[in-house]
Chains A and B, each alone.
Chain A
Amino acid sequence: MIGNIIGTWIAATLTIAILSFLYRDNPLYKLAEHLYVGVSAGFWVIYTWSFDVKPMLIDRFIQATGVEKWVLVIPAILGIIMLSRWIPKYGWISRIPISFTVGIGAGLGITASIQGFILPQIQATLLPLTTINNIIIVIGFITTIFYFYFSREHKGFLKVGSRVGIIFIMVAFGASFGYTVMARISLLIGRVYFLLHDWLHILR
Chain B
Amino acid sequence: MSWLTKIGTIDRRIIYGLVLLAVAIPLLFKMILPIRVSEPVMMCFNAIDRLPQNSVVMISIDYDAASEPELQPMLVAVLRHCFAKDLKVILLGHWALGLPLGEIALNQVAREYKKVYGEDYVNLGYRPGYVAQMVGLGREIRDFFAVDYKGIPIDSFPFMRSVHNYNDIDILFGLEAGATGDAWVQYAGARFNQKMFFGATGVVAPDYFPYLQAKQIEGIIAGLQGAAEYETLVKQAGSAILGMPAQSVVHGLILLFIIIGNIGYLLTRKKK
Contact = CB atoms under 8 A, between A and B. Distances in A.
Asked whether the complex places CB atoms of A and B closer than 8 A, the reply is yes
Interface of A: 22-23, 40, 43-44, 47-48, 50-52, 54-56, 59-60, 101, 104-105, 108-109, 111-113, 115-117, 120-121, 123-124, 137, 172, 175-176, 179-193, 196, 202-203
A56 B151 CA distance: 11
Which of B67, B146, B190, B239 has the most A CB atoms < 10 Å from its CB?
B190
A191 B13 CA distance: 19
A121 B190 contact: no
A50 B150 CA distance: 9
A179 B205 contact: yes
B131 A105 contact: yes
Given A59-B146, A185-B251, 6 more contacts: A183-B70, A183-B201, A183-B203, A189-B23, A192-B20, A203-B30
10 contacts: A22-B16, A116-B187, A123-B214, A124-B214, A176-B206, A179-B222, A182-B224, A183-B203, A186-B247, A193-B69
Interface residues of B, number: 60
Contacts, number: 150
Interface string B208-229: 0010011110000011110000
**Chain B contact surface mostly:** helix
A116 B96 contact: no
**Chain A contact surface mostly:** helix
Interface of B: 13, 16, 19-20, 23-24, 27-28, 30, 66-70, 96-97, 125-129, 131-132, 135, 144, 146-147, 149, 151, 182-183, 185-187, 189-191, 201-203, 205-207, 210, 213-216, 222-225, 239, 242-243, 246-247, 250-251, 254
A51 B131 CA distance: 16
A54 B225 CA distance: 40
A183 B128 contact: no
Contacts of B182: 117
B146 A179 contact: no
Contact of A52 (B128, B207, B216): B128
Contact of A182 (B24, B215, B223): B223
Nearest to B254: A181
Contacts of B128: 47-48, 51-52
Contacts of A175: 206
B202 A188 contact: no
Given A116-B186, A120-B190, A186-B70, A180 B27 contact: no
Contacts of A190: 68-69, 239, 243
A51 B127 contact: yes
B187 A186 contact: no
A115 B191 contact: yes
A47 B125 CA distance: 10
B185 A116 contact: yes
A54 B152 CA distance: 12
A105 B129 CA distance: 10
A121 B208 CA distance: 12
B264 to A, nearest CB: 20
Nearest to A194: B69
B107 to A, nearest CB: 15
A54 B96 CA distance: 16
B202 A189 contact: no
Contacts of B20: 188, 192
